[in-house]
């Protein structure tokens, strides 16, 4: 269900009450979310299952990376709880720089360790795969 909050599109949790009591909104990431996005990413580094980075990144080092997302075609979404906590994010980036691949994307999804196995990634992917967020 799409709702407007502060002039911004928000996808209300389509799975509310199904396997989790946590209510989520999936919304476009904003610059104010970058610190939480970086913290969630950095939490994945020690396990080396989700990233090849071996050392933590900084918010400053990720500013250019973050500005490369585009809400219309290569978005980054955050999963936000009803109380405003960012518990995960999903980003869509171009797969390869050549023109023939312009409709091909890669996705990355990261979830805060304390919220893993709660369906956060499933909720975010449901938005993308369900067509709630067009990829051009």
Give the start-to-end residue ranges of the domains of the chain. 2-129
Q: How many residues does the chain have?
A: 136
For the four alpha carbons of 67, 35, 9 and 117, in that order, the dihedral sign comes to positive
How would residue 5 be classed by pLDDT, with cut points 50, 70 and 90? very low
Torsion of CA 131, 69, 42, 39, to 10 degrees: -90
pLDDT digits (tens, 9 = 90+) for 71-125: 888 899 999 999 999 999 999 988 887 889 888 888 899 999 999 998 899 888 8
Is domain 2-129 in CATH 3.40.30.10, yes or no? Answer: no
pLDDT digits (tens, 9 = 90+) for 54-68: 999 999 999 999 999
pLDDT in tens, 9-46: 454 444 443 333 358 888 999 999 999 999 999 999 98
- Report the phi/psi class of residue 90: left, alpha or beta, with left for phi > 0 and alpha for psi in -120 to 50: beta
pLDDT for the residue 24: 85
């Amino acid at each position: 269900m799409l709702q407007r909050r502060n002039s911004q599109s928000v996808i209300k949790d389509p799975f509310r009450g199904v396997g989790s009591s946590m209510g989520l909104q999936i919304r476009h990431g904003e610059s104010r979310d970058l610190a939480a996005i970086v913290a969630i990413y950095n939490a994945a580094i020690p396990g080396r299952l989700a990233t090849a980075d071996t050392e933590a990144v900084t918010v400053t080092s990720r500013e250019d990376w973050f500005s490369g997302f585009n809400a219309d075609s290569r978005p980054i979404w955050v999963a936000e709880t009803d109380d405003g906590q960012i518990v995960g994010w999903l980003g869509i980036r171009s797969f390869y720089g050549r023109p023939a691949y312009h409709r091909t994307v890669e996705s990355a999804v990261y979830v805060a360790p304390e919220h893993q196995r709660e369906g956060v990634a499933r909720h975010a992917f449901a938005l993308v795969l369900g067509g709630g967020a067009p990829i051009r």
